[in-house]
Amino acid sequence: MNPDDVAREQILKFLYERHKTSRSISSIPIGIRDLQREMKERHGMKQQEVAHNLDYLIQVGWAAPVVKERDFTTPRGMTLSREQEKFKISDVGINRLQSATLFSKPRAAGQINITTIQGVTIVGDGNVVKAELADLSLALDDLETSILEHEELTPDQKLDVSADIATIRNQLAKSTPDKSIIQKAWEGIRIVGTIASLARAFAAVAPLIESALK
């Protein structure tokens, strides 16, 4: 497992619990300083650990920034506006930690976005991959959806496998993917291949991974 995954999971779970326990919508987002203080008190995490792992969670869509305009008055009596940025768990992040829900945003059939620009392909919800690996990215999407909807897996198991899938996608976006990282992440995903109801989705990914590792 990527050593940063522990910190990412702790941050995501904190944002999830804050989402669940807040008494109003406006109190759900949290500022970076408050988040860093909470993570230090709870897990001994350094400020830079919180910053770069939160940034990663935002990039992959598990967390989301909330920007709000705030007015303040200067000592000279001028009223100025300043942006205040806070952070919260996204719908994607919530789906990582919860069991499947009837209210998750569906992906309409026939509306999978595939755009290729100079050999780089953007697949689905903004997943960037090399053009020749687009089929693998789509197969990973299907496998991840099946995993998140599976009732036998615990939230922690779903989070672990989703993190491994995100690691593979990150490598697929590079001009020269690190095959050792892909192999290690794939070993974590292979655990779900023993579940009969996931066998079909797993079987669709396996040969594509093997091809990418050659």
Do the domain assignments include residue 127?
no
Determine, yes or no, domain membership for 110: no
* 120 part of a folded domain: no
pLDDT attached to residue 177: 81
Q: What is the mean pLDDT of residues 180-191?
A: 87
What single-letter amino acid sits at 41?
A: E
Residues 199 and 146 in one domain: yes
Q: What's the domain count of the chain?
A: 2
From CA 55, how far away is CA 49, in angstroms rounded? 10
Quick count: other Cβ atoms within 10 Å of Cβ 13?
18
| 163 pLDDT higher than 60 | yes
Give me the mean pLDDT over the 167-173 stretch: 80
Instruction: List the domain range (segments joined by +) for residue 156.
Output: 132-214
In terms of pLDDT, which residue wins out, 121 or 25? 25
Q: Which residues pair with 81 in a beta bridge?
A: 71
- Indicate the residue type of 211: S
Looking at residue 162, its pLDDT comes to: 82
Name residue 31's amino acid. G
Q: How many helices (H) and strands (E) does the chain have?
A: 8, 5
pLDDT at position 136 is 80
Higher per-residue confidence, 84 vs 64: 64
Mean pLDDT in residue range 2-21: 91
In whole angstroms, give the CA distance from residue 89 to residue 61: 9
CB 101 within 8 A of CB 95: yes
**Domain boundary residue, one of 46, 68, 96:** 96
Asked if 202 and 147 touch (Cβ cutoff 8 Å), the reply is: no
Among 78-87, 123-132, 167-176, 180-189, the minimum mean pLDDT is found in 123-132
pLDDT digits (tens, 9 = 90+) for 85-114: 899 999 888 877 775 555 655 554 444 443
Whether 105 maps to a domain, the answer reads: no
- Three-state SS across 48-94? HHHHHHHHHHHHCCCEEEEEEEEEEECCCCCEEEEEEEEEEECHHHH
pLDDT-based confidence at 131, cuts 50/70/90? low
